[in-house]
A = this chain, B = another copy of it.
């Protein structure tokens, strides 16, 4: 009897080729695809998805997995087998009919949601949302035995964040959200000392691109194994072990928008570029979870890029690319980048208010999945929660419960990973500071290598060998908590 492990590895390496080909077509769809070419592209992607599904759900895999557990394996190989067991179990649990129904419904729903948002009419989205909630509930019921947990939301959360339970997230928000709300007044007061138009001026796209590329290179993004292109919605995608592509958008009135976008996506990109090359495309060379991925983007964006030290160092280069910045100081740029404001729209929110937006979504999603909140009551519940946490009165659904695309693709359980990412970032940064006493001096002189190396060792190279709580505990001494984030926010904003 031949050994099973090599057959599994060959199978999943082939699947990785197909998956990255799909990602390649998806990247092109967002960047360069001509307007009329979308239907053909959809057919190409569907064909690849079919091949991928066929390769990763076959009965033979179950046999190989059963056999491989008793084979003599290296630690990486054991990580791979554990990862495949989970992925295979999840994939097998979802019948084709449900997957197709979800694909069909979300394709329509995204369009209908966009129209409903334009009209600010939750009622127009309600029938679709009702279907999506029912489908997500069915999916959750099927996945729960695999993900583990005690309620539907555990299963949905577990897809994005293996090992995290709804009760844990509830506990985090129960202390974190009120503490955030308490920070808001002092942060607003300090922020008011910097005028909103402190950096007013014209920032040509080409100069922004040159500056962004310089910064991304300095923090360690490898342009021989990656790129930056332009899209409406920024993202970062992995197309191969040496092919990580990020995107951004440009506002010629505000260079900070694309720069922080690039710092954010470069954080994702550095994680992807730091995954094990030997196990690339296999669980030991895959990212741990969305909440860990987001911690990397937020760490580089906010903890590095949003610091006074960053601007003290980069000020001369910023002036080189945007000569009129000579009329303002490095400190003013840092202060402008730290602006806090109560606002209705999550994607525009600053660091102090951002997680309040997430707290609202989490409570509503959780209760929707549990069946304790009626769909028709979502706008009222949203507006009440938002008022309680931010003090603002939501004027209409477009500025409230209709603003995000996530529910239209049935992405229930996704939102909390944003907050987990923020908490993880602060916690990892604090741990890196403890481990490297000279870290702040290095960052102040534009030396990012030691920080990156610490992240490579403690996060990137772990792949999926640990769950997120295990990884956080190994790297920082405890699973995700709110303390380091609150200390960071207070020091930075108050």
Which chain A residues (209-227) contact chain B, with CB distance < 8 Å? 222-227
Tell whether A44 is near chain B: CB-to-CB under 8 Å.
yes
User: How far is it, in angstroms, between the C-alpha of A48 and the C-alpha of B44 when the chains are bound?
Assistant: 12
- Cross-chain contact A36 with B227 (CB below 8 angstroms): no
Chain A interface extent, by class: 20 to 34
- A242 near B36: Cβ-Cβ < 8 Å: yes
Task: Say whether A21 contacts B21, CB under 8 Å.
Answer: yes
Q: Which residues on B sit within 8 Å (CB–CB) of A21? A: 21, 25, 44, 47-48
A167, chain B: closest CB distance, angstroms: 42
Q: Say if the beta carbon of A95 comes within 8 Å of chain B.
A: no
Residues of B near A240 (CB, < 8 A) are 37, 40-41, 44
For chain A residues 440-456, which have a beta carbon within 8 Å of chain B? Answer: none
Cβ-based interface call for A301 (8 A): no
For A34, the chain B residues whose CB sits under 8 A away are 223-227, 242-243
Flag whether A367 is at the interface (Cβ < 8 A). no
A40 touches B227 (CB 8 A): no
A33 to B222, CA, bound (A): 13
Instruction: Known contacts A18-B47, A24-B28; decide if A40 and B224 are in contact (CB<8 Å).
Output: no
Return the contact of A243 from the options B40, B51, B229, B241 (Cβ within 8 A): B40
Q: Select from chain B the residue with minimum beta-carbon distance to A39.
A: B242
Q: Which residues in chain A, 72-87, are within 8 Å of chain B measured between CB atoms?
A: none
> Could you tell me which residues of chain A, from 1 to 40, have a CB within 8 Å of some CB in chain B?
14, 17-18, 20-21, 24-25, 28, 32-37, 39-40
Cβ proximity bits A266-295 to B, threshold 8 Å, 1 near / 0 not: 000000000000000000000000000000
CA distance A141 to B24 in the complex (A): 39
Q: Judge whether A143 is part of the interface by a CB distance below 8 angstroms.
A: no
Task: Decide yes or no whether A327 CB sits under 8 A from chain B.
Answer: no
A43 interface residue per 8 A CB criterion: yes
Q: Does A239 contact B (CB under 8 A)?
A: yes
Q: Given A24-B24, A25-B24, A28-B28, are A17 and B33 also a contact pair (CB < 8 Å)? A: no
Copies in the complex: 2
Chain B proximity of A29: nearest CB distance (Å): 10
In chain B, what residue has the closest Cβ to A240?
B40
Q: Which of A24, A40, A223 has the most CB of B within 10 A?
A: A40
Task: Name the residue among A28, A223, A224 with the largest chain B CB count within 10 angstroms.
Answer: A28
Expressed in whole angstroms, the minimum distance between the Cβ of A36 and any Cβ of chain B is 4
Chain B residue at minimal CB-CB distance from A27: B28
Q: Which of B14, B40, B44 contacts A242 (CB 8 A)?
A: B40
CB contacts (< 8 Å) of A39 on chain B: these are 242
The distance from the CB of A243 to the nearest CB of chain B, in whole angstroms, is: 4
Contact, CB under 8 Å: A225 / B44: no
A13 to chain B: closest residue by CB = B43
Q: Closest approach, in angstroms, between the C-beta of A50 and any C-beta of chain B?
A: 10
Partner of A36, one of B35, B36, B37, B225: B225
Expressed in whole angstroms, the Cα–Cα distance for A243 and B241 within the complex equals 28
A231 to chain B, nearest CB (A): 13
Report the separation of the CA atoms of residues A417 and B57 in the bound assembly, to the nearest whole angstrom: 48
**A20/B40 in contact, CB under 8 A:** yes
The complex places the Cα of A48 from the Cα of B22 at a distance, in Å, of 12
Nearest Cβ in chain B — how far from A121, in angstroms? 31
A 190-237 contacts with B by CB, 8 A: 222-227, 229
- A47 engages B17 (CB within 8 Å): yes
Tell me the complex Cα distance, A66–B223, Å: 53
Asked whether A224 lies within 8 Å of B24 as measured between CB atoms, the reply is no
Please tell me if the beta carbons of A239 and B43 are within 8 angstroms of each other in the complex. Answer: no
Q: Is the CB of A17 within 8 A of B44?
A: yes
Could you say which residues of chain B place their CB within 8 Å of the CB of A20? Answer: 40, 44
- Nearest-neighbour CB distance to chain B for A207, whole angstroms, equals 15
Known: A21-B25, A24-B24, A48-B21. A40 touches B223 (CB 8 A): no
Q: Which residues of B contact A225 (CB under 8 A)?
A: 34-37
Q: Name 17 interchain pairs, CB-CB below 8 A, sorted by A.
A: A17-B43, A17-B47, A21-B21, A32-B229, A34-B223, A34-B226, A34-B227, A34-B242, A35-B224, A36-B222, A36-B225, A36-B242, A37-B225, A40-B240, A40-B241, A41-B240, A51-B51
Given contact pairs A17-B44, A24-B24, enumerate 12 new A-B contacts (beta carbons under 8 Å). A17-B43, A17-B47, A18-B47, A21-B25, A24-B28, A32-B229, A35-B224, A35-B225, A37-B243, A40-B239, A41-B243, A51-B51
